[in-house]
Chain A
Amino acid sequence: DAMVIQNPRYQVTQFGKPVTLSCSQTLNHNVMYWYQQKSSQAPKLLFHYYDKDFNNEADTPDNFQSRRPNTSFCFLDIRSPGLGDAAMYLCATSRGVEVAEQFFGPGTRLTVL
């Protein structure tokens, strides 16, 4: 089945230790998104790629970076995680044609010690 895969599902890191979260898709979608979702809140868009074009949200901290080496993969790098970065990180994809629904992965739960 075509899908969005996130690895790992659970990630524990130490305060200030860089961490990378991974997302892959078999949908061949043009657009890939990264969201941060804290407990009992709506997902908050961090950035998205339309093909190779990177689009950063204005309020996304510089601590968060992203890479998309090819159509299928996208990575979220957190350079120096703080306690406030503990959250669920969701990856999503869409076709990016006119209005298109987004398909979400299962998320990675990040814990910062």
Chain B
Amino acid sequence: AQSVTQPDIHITVSEGASLELRCNYSYGATPYLFWYVQSPGQGLQLLLKYFSGDTLVQGIKGFEAEFKRSQSSFNLRKPSVHWSDAAEYFCAVEDFGNEKLTFGTGTRLTIIP
């Protein structure tokens, strides 16, 4: 069965600093990977997705992620964080054809001034 691991439960960074959130997956075939963000009390918003092609994908709000098959990773990055980026971030993988997402446990991001 496929699984997603987000090893960092909570990360704190200073405003303006760079950010990298880690995501590792376990899946036999080509994975379809997503990053979602959830602000407190809100639903999930899609940041970016990887289906195929270029392994570096750009998303909204200045985020990007790189798919590395050799490391089974899909890490999320942002060069300079803003206070409004404070939220919970979920990595997810979809199994082709079964319409269902498997989520990681999430990483809570705190921004300090």
Which A positions have Cβ atoms within 8 angstroms of B? 4, 6, 31, 40-43, 45, 48, 50, 88, 90, 92, 94, 96, 98-107, 109
Is B51 touching A99 in the complex (CB atoms < 8 A)? yes
With a CB–CB cut-off of 8 A, which chain B residues contact A6?
A: 43
CA distance A96 to B97 in the complex (A): 8
Q: Say whether A104 contacts B90, CB under 8 Å.
A: no
Known: A43-B103, A45-B100, A94-B99. A99 touches B94 (CB 8 A): yes
A50→B99 contact, CB < 8 A: yes
- A45 neighbours in B (Cβ, 8 Å): 100-101
Pick the residue among A94, A98, A102 that contacts B96 (CB under 8 A): A98
Q: Establish whether residues A99 and B96, one from each chain, have CB atoms under 8 Å apart when the complex forms.
A: yes
Partner of A42, one of B43, B99, B103: B103
Measured between alpha carbons, how far is A5 from B100 in the docked complex, in Å? 20
Q: Which residue of A lies closest to B10 (CB)?
A: A40
A105 cross-chain contacts in B, Cβ below 8 A = 43
Q: Is the CB of A42 within 8 A of B104?
A: yes
Q: A41-B105, A50-B99 are in contact. List 8 more A-B contacts (CB 8 A).
A: A41-B106, A42-B90, A42-B103, A42-B106, A45-B101, A90-B43, A99-B97, A101-B46
Chain B interface bracket (under 10, 10 to 19, 20 to 34, 35 or more): 20 to 34
Q: Knowing A104-B44, A109-B41 touch, does A98 contact B106 (C-beta < 8 A)?
A: no
Closest CB in chain A relative to B42 CB, distance in Å: 6
B25 at the interface (CB under 8 A from A): no
Q: Is the CB of B51 within 8 A of A106?
A: no
What are the 3 closest A-B residue pairs judged by CB atoms, nearest first? A104-B43, A42-B103, A104-B44
Given contacts A99-B51, A101-B34, A101-B49, contact A43 B44 (CB under 8 A): yes
Asked if B72 CB lies within 8 Å of chain A CBs, one says no
B45 part of interface (Cβ distance < 8 Å): yes
B99: chain A residues within 8 A (beta carbon) = 31, 48, 50, 94, 96, 100
